[in-house]
Amino acid sequence: MPSDSTQSAPDAAVAAVVTPPERADEIFLEGPNSRVAEFCTLLRVMRDFLRGYRALHFVGPCVTVFGSARIKPHDPHYELALKMGAAIARLGFTVMTGGGPGIMEAANRGAKEVGGRSVGCNIELPFEQSSNVYLDRCVRLHYFFVRKALLIKYSYAFVVMPGGVGTLDELFEALALIQNGKIKNFPIVIMGTDYWRHLIDFIQEMAQRGKISSADLELIYATDSVEEAIAHIRSKAIERFGLKRVAHMRRHFPWLGERGFPGKGPDIC
């Protein structure tokens, strides 16, 4: 008989299926479970990815904006993200964020206000993170790593605004994938240099001490100028990868659960 501290295989399998979405990561990371429970968790992860694929496959090339959910509309960094979101949309990209408030809201709002595309990948949390109201499309996910993968998968550039631990995680995830050749050399723009000054100095010290290559310093571009940031993205994304404006997006198939973006063009591809 299992002890009181050990969950039986059927109970673990049931927990993997019926666990509230905000506890999905907790269950996934708590250690080994029964084979049935692990298989049920795998199906939930697959469902998360499938939900993301269906919602985001036809949103067009994106620029993902990372940043804090805690920044308020009166903050100068909110205003900077608002202007950057609008500029990214005018450049022809879809603005993608984590879909929440703060910097994410500002970037989505900037895109929306100039008629651009605005999408979000939100996450179910124990403390509710509501989606902002400036999204043309939002997919709510259960797993942090799925959300992070989707924020990177559809993007040709990354803009990093002031934020906390989550923003640092997203920045270094993108940086590590580029450094190791797992994704192409997409531009990473750090904005809010007054906030990131010590981090930028630390990255430079890493190169000085030989922990990263001096060439890795070229993977990030720090500026507070929207014009300079857009020029960098144009040079390192649009021109480098041969993106061009198109009148119509690719055809989608509703019978597969795919969702297009009618009436939102022209775009780049």
Confidence band for 268, pLDDT divided at 50, 70 and 90: low
Assigned domain for 3 exists: no
The total of structural domains in the chain comes to 2
Assigned domain for 237 exists: yes
Residues 89 and 27 in one domain: no
Assigned domain for 2 exists: no
Residues 70 and 130 in one domain: yes
Quote the percentage of the chain above a pLDDT of 90.
72
Does the pLDDT at position 247 exceed 90? no
Assigned domain for 35 exists: yes
* Token pair in block for residue 268: 């780049």
Does the pLDDT at position 205 exceed 80? yes
Instruction: Give the residue-averaged pLDDT of 36-55.
Output: 93
What distances in angstroms separate CA 28 from CA 32, 51, 141, one per listed residue?
A: 9, 18, 14
At 157-191, the pLDDT tens digits run: 999 999 999 999 999 999 999 999 999 999 999 99
At 210-238, the pLDDT tens digits run: 999 999 999 999 999 999 999 999 999 99
Residues 109 and 69 in one domain: yes
Residues 114 and 46 in one domain: no
Residues 140 and 29 in one domain: no
> Cα(161)–Cα(109) distance, rounded to whole angstroms?
15
Residues 88 and 194 in one domain: yes
Assigned domain for 254 exists: yes
Assigned domain for 4 exists: no
Average pLDDT, the chain: 89
Domain span at residue 47?
9-51
pLDDT of residue 243: 87
At 125-156, the pLDDT tens digits run: 776 568 999 999 999 999 999 999 999 999 99
What distances in angstroms separate CA 53 from CA 47, 49, 223, one per listed residue?
A: 10, 6, 33
pLDDT of residue 1: 44
CATH number at residue 214: 3.40.50.450
pLDDT of residue 21: 77
Residues 15 and 94 in one domain: no
